[in-house]
Amino acid sequence: MMGICLDDIRKASERIRPYIHRTPLIRSDSFSRLTGAEVFLKAENLQKTGSFKVRGALNKMMGLKDEKVIAASMGNHAQGVAYAARELNKRSMIVMPVIAPIIKQEATRGYGAEVVLYGNTFNDALDYALSMKEYRFIHAFDDDDVIAGQGSIGLEITDDLKDFDSILVPVGGGGLISGISVALKNISPGVEIIGVQAELSPSCYRSFKEGRVEGIRPGPTIADGIAVGRVGDRTFEIIRKYVDDIVLVNEDSIAMAILLFLERKKLVVEGAGAVGLACLLEKTERFRGKKIVLVVSGGNIDFTLIDRIIHRGLVKSGRISVFEVVIDDIPGSLHDLTGIIASKGGNVLHVRHERLGIDLPIGKTRVIFTVETRGRGHLEEILDEIGSRGLEHKG
């Protein structure tokens, strides 16, 4: 493996500059107060196609004489290749499994690509793409030119912020963190580089700990953009050399991070792009008092799922709570109970009765509430008041 150097990244940055946005590095006062760190956001969710992927795709394809390119992808890489092909007057074919969300199929077609649906899994689509020998295959991450293109993010960060302690980078196949780490460790070797993966897709984490590439089938995660079953061979060698640590975050923290981006920064961020903030939320003490950069890798969230993701984030933060109360099954009991909740400032969103539970005495009913609260402390106030009235509750 030849690998890449800082000069390769600098050349890539110059080459792709006319075709991309130089995305902002935003200092977040709200996230800084929330976590106790000084937090900066590299907003690649505002990039062309809504993701950093276009950088690597452009750099790879600008060095090709081939007029026809092909890629296998379920989302961001597909759109990056399609956009790059359109800008460079090439013909592109993107192979997706039939389960790929329609919204991502249509977005890819919108950039001018021919979309072919094949197989039920990503590997089925990949095998088909590799069989199309008349097209030049564009790998999503395990390619030196692609890695160098992604590394241009590191150059932009060091131009905008001369001194920081750590950078948190989403990791799937490893192309993004590989390019960034080569740039940063050659410019600012003291910067701590930390990769972040979802717990349900820990290939790079396991490989990093074991010292060899480990393939692990990813589970269903809302960070679908980094749900990769095997870190790349090229990327792993760079990660072993330059990356300081790989950490895992859970689904609730990712959902909470997506919600915080929407509420506090008015930014639409997909699950993969939110894992850096999720890491800060889970490991606050590790980063307290430090200057931290979060690479917000993309914003292509599936809006058919966003209501569920927001709900999960609200539950995680204690803003929506579910609890049950056993009351007398007589007129007025429910009215009295909702009055208690209202007196404490809770907003009842949903009520459900259960009268037939075998654990319920005759004449009693279980009422299950979904209530909007200010947080967990507010919920405790409501439950304490309910308990003071002699009512049995659980929540």
> Catalytic site residues?
53, 297
Instruction: State the DSSP code for 264.
Output: I
**Beta strands at 38-43 and 291-296: parallel, antiparallel or unpaired:** parallel
**Beta strands at 364-372 and 347-354: parallel, antiparallel or unpaired:** antiparallel
Residue found under tokens 């692990």: 216
Q: How many CB atoms lie within 10 A of CB 49?
A: 26
Is the separation of the CB atoms in 299 and 50 below 8 Å? yes
Q: What is the DSSP string of 344-360?
A: TT-EEEEEEEE---TTS
Q: Supply 367's token pair.
A: 């009422």
Q: What is the DSSP string of 19-32?
A: GS----EEEEHHHH
* Integer angstrom CA distances of residue 167 from 3, 32, 76, 207, 243: 22, 14, 22, 20, 10
* Strand order across the 68-72 sheet: 114-117, 91-96, 68-72, 136-137
